Amino acid sequence: MIARMTPESSDRALALARELQAVADGDRSAFATLYKRTSSKLFGVCMQMLGDRGEAEDALQEVYVSVWRSADTFDATRAAAMTWLITLARNQCIDRLRRHREVPLEDATATRLVDPDPEPPALTETSEERRRLERCLGVLADQQKDAVRAAFFSGATYNQLADHVGVPLATMKSWIRRSLIRLRACLERSETNP
């Protein structure tokens, strides 16, 4: 389900999807091209979540080894290539965060939570999907929107987020769950009526 996109981003998405399919067939030069096109984004994601260069490099390595081995599970009719790749990177990073740092929120993570967010980019530079999400985030109270963004960019658990913000766990869960319910309603509406 490749959703509506600008012509430019759509070209890029199709090129990535073709490369992934070639990678599934064992095409090494397609894999190299795919790496060149996507590794800076995925490394940015890993740096953002892990906050440690060495660990981000290890994570990135695992992500691309996994891309090479499981590219045949990518289904272009169901997901955009970049979504698939970023998901692999996020899952790899979240698993690492859970393995090493389940209990206390380490200083490094805490520091990033204070300022977890990259600035929302100028909306003219973003995809239609990003703009739609921004419109729907706009219906949330600031505190709830911040919690959703902090969760997404840090990969922290409910517990860690609650500790960090200094609210009870139930409050954090409620903020985020209510936000997700409202986001779902808003995004569902705009998917059917763009």
Partner 1 sequence: MNTPLDHEPEDLRYAEYVLGVLDADARAAVEREMAADPHAADEVMRWQRYLLPLAEDITDSAPPDRVWSRIQGRIGQTQSLPRTTDIRERRGWWSNLFVWRSFAFGATAVAAACIIALVLFPRARVAQPAAPAIAYMASAITQTDGQVGWTATMDITHARMIVVPAKPQTLPTGRAPELWLIPAGQKPIAVGMIDSGAPTNIKLDKALLTRIGPDAALAVSVEPPSGSPTGQPTGPVIGKGSITGT
12-41 positions binding partner 1, by CB under 8 A: 26, 28, 31, 35, 39-41
The CB-of-132 to partner 1 minimum distance in angstroms stands at 8
The CB-of-18 to partner 1 minimum distance in angstroms stands at 19
Answer for which of 29, 61, 111, 143 binds partner 1 (CB under 8 A) is 61
Residue 144 in the binding site for partner 1 (CB under 8 A): no
Question: CB–CB of 77/1 below 8 Å?
Answer: yes
Residue 143 in the binding site for partner 1 (CB under 8 A): no
Length of the chain: 194
Answer for which of 73, 108, 111, 170 binds partner 1 (CB under 8 A) is 73
Q: How far apart (Å, rounded) are the C-alpha atoms in residues 194 and 189?
A: 8
**CA-based Rg of the chain, rounded to a whole angstrom?**
18
- State the helix-helix crossing angle for 142-154 and 128-137, rounded to 10 degrees: 130
Q: Which stretch binds partner 1 (CB under 8 A): 12-20, 71-79, 105-113, 138-146?
A: 71-79
Answer for which of 10, 21, 126, 171 binds partner 1 (CB under 8 A) is 126
Q: In the complex with partner 1, which residue's Cβ is closer, 21 or 68? A: 68
Q: How far apart (Å, rounded) are the C-alpha atoms in residues 180 and 182?
A: 5
The CB-of-171 to partner 1 minimum distance in angstroms stands at 12
Q: Which residue has the tokens 């999907």?
A: 129
Q: How far apart (Å, rounded) are the C-alpha atoms in residues 166 and 107?
A: 15
Instruction: Please calculate the CA angle 171-129-7 and round it to the nearest 5 degrees.
Output: 170
Q: Give me the 81-120 binding string for partner 1, x by CB under 8 A, dash otherwise.
A: --x--xx--x-x-xx--xxx-x--------------xxxx
